[in-house]
Amino acid sequence: MTPLSSHTIGPFFPRAFVREGDNDLTRTAPNATPSRAGTRIRLHGRVLREGGLPCVYAILEAWQADAAGRFRHPADPDWEYADPDFLGWGRAFTDADGRFEFHTLMPGGFLDRAPHVNLLVMASGLMRPVSTTLFFPQFVTANAADPVLGLLPPPLRPRLLAAPDNDDGYRFDIRLRGGPAEETPFFES
Amino acid sequence: MPEDAPPTRFGPLPPGIAPTVPTPGYPGTFTHTPSQPAFRRPPGRTEVTGPLALHRKLPCGEANLAEPIPGRPAMGQLIHIAGQVLDEDGRPIPDAVVELWQANAAGRYAHANDTRSAPLDPHFVGHGRVRTDAEGRYGFFTIRPGAYPVPGEAVWWRPPHVHFSVLGPASLSRLVTQMFFPGDPLNPLDHIFMAVPDAVARERLVARPLPPAEIGPGWLGYRHDIALRGRRATPVLP
Ligand SMILES: [Fe+3]
């Protein structure tokens, strides 16, 4: 069978679809106890469109490995050992300034992959969701060896590194459209 | 994984399926679509996996949009939309989360962003979320939405359509799409429908009228199957 074509979420994606706590990757359900098997971190940033203007009402979905670098999915050979209390998935909505926020645990690396968080962005005006991957600057050696980060020309690689904030925060802005000098590198999805 | 390694399970989409971007006639795509080409990466563990049992995180069960309060149906043609979520091999995908949203019969969304003067229907909120069963089946009771204009320099009218968001078994199977109604004269004038280059691919976005016997009289039935990317993509937990 041929997959269906994708379309924009449009301007009217129901706000009720994004509930409080959906942006917390450490909970498998709204009332579940959050996983504590790792270092709690907060990822935040803005989604911007052409002209550096905020992209409002964009939907972001995050997907990442647990703190030990495992996915609770049978395509991961070690899935049985994955943290059962960690979902690794979350959804966030950007506000009027284009801001979003996720609460999660620092992901672990696996195989030749450096710790990373996959982000999918959907918005009115985006006919296909766009995918990018966030890396953490402190894992210098792992980042240098990461085959996906290595697909980018070296000058673009810093654009996929989140910037450490005060406390547990990491800032990662996503520029949807801004030409070669400013745009976030995206991956085919 | 067994014999079928991840790279062969998620091939690139055949040509003509993905919409043309930026999309002629749709100004928003010219300010949002990345101008630089995306980097191609071989599907690895992070792309072929995804959250299982997502229905625990995203509570499901809102399948009746048309008559949330018994005896107080929404205005409009009562319809039932049902189908199967399948992978590229035609295998059913159980436990997929299917989200649906749409305008009311007057073409107005119950959403703060829709400031048009068309009437709101107090008995129609217009969104729901269900989980597919063991055969990949989903179903919604709703109403046929109305057409609505897209404001801008060159106004165009969206044909009646229903938005779908489907969360399948892998990051690569994520799909956001729209369902259209057969024979609507606005379909060939819609920039979003026509953004899909291949005419056969466009037909797959059009529901088939098919009164399902078990639904009962009063509901106009539509069948709409949803194929996601991926072969042998259905995870089976041992
Ligand atoms: Fe719409």
In chain B the domains, ranked by start, together with CATH numbers, are 54-227 (2.60.130.10)
Residue A182 lies in a domain: no
> What is the predicted pLDDT for the residue at B233?
59
Range B44-53 average pLDDT: 92
Residue A33 lies in a domain: yes
Residue A153 lies in a domain: yes
Residue A187 lies in a domain: no
> What is the predicted pLDDT for the residue at B215?
75
Chain B residues lying within 8 Å of A71, measured CB to CB: 45-46, 49
Domain count, chain A: 1
Residues of B labelled as active-site residues: 109, 148, 158, 161, 163
> What is the predicted pLDDT for the residue at B218?
85
Range A181-188 average pLDDT: 96
ipTM: 0.96
Residue matched to tokens 């905020």? A54
The chain-wide mean pLDDT, for chain A, equals 97
Reply yes or no on whether the pLDDT at B190 is more than 70.
Answer: yes
Reply yes or no on whether the pLDDT at B160 is more than 90.
Answer: yes
Q: Of B205, B225, B222, B226, whose CA–CA distance to B77 is shortest?
A: B222
Residue A125 lies in a domain: yes
Residue A158 lies in a domain: yes
A74 or B236, which is more confident: A74
Contact A12 B196 (CB under 8 A): no
Banded model confidence at residue B8, pLDDT cuts 50, 70, 90:
low
Range B121-135 average pLDDT: 96
Residue A183 lies in a domain: no
> What is the predicted pLDDT for the residue at B238?
45
Reply yes or no on whether the pLDDT at A168 is more than 60.
Answer: yes
Banded model confidence at residue B211, pLDDT cuts 50, 70, 90:
low
Nearest chain A Cα to B13, which residue? Answer: A3
Please give, rounded to a whole number of angstroms, the shortest distance from the CA of B146 to a CA of chain A: 15
Cα of A140 from ligand 1 centre, angstroms? 45
Residue A74 lies in a domain: yes
Cα of B219 from ligand 1 centre, angstroms? 22
Contact A4 B226 (CB under 8 A): yes
What is the residue range of A72's domain?
5-175
Integer Cα distance of A177 and B29 in angstroms = 10
Please give, rounded to a whole number of angstroms, the shortest distance from the CA of A140 to a CA of chain B: 20
Cα of B158 from ligand 1 centre, angstroms? 7
Banded model confidence at residue B235, pLDDT cuts 50, 70, 90:
low
> What is the predicted pLDDT for the residue at B86?
96
Reply yes or no on whether the pLDDT at A67 is more than 50.
Answer: yes
The model's pTM: 0.95
Range B67-79 average pLDDT: 92
Tell which of B4, B23, B45 to mutate to test the A interface (max A CBs under 10 Å): B45
Rounded (10°) CA dihedral A133, A38, B174, A136: 0
Chain B residues lying within 8 Å of A127, measured CB to CB: 19, 21, 23, 26, 29, 33, 192, 195
Beta-strand (E) ranges in B42-172?
A: 78-86, 97-101, 127-131, 137-143, 148-150, 156-158, 161-167
Contact B32 A123 (CB under 8 A): yes
Contact A113 B45 (CB under 8 A): yes
Reply yes or no on whether the pLDDT at B6 is more than 50.
Answer: no
What's the CATH number where A152 sits? Answer: 2.60.130.10
Q: Of A40, A41, A39, whose CA–CA distance to A164 is shortest?
A: A41
> What is the predicted pLDDT for the residue at B234?
59
> What is the predicted pLDDT for the residue at B212?
64
Instruction: Tell me the two tokens of residue B115.
Output: 């400031």
Range B14-29 average pLDDT: 96
Range B231-235 average pLDDT: 68
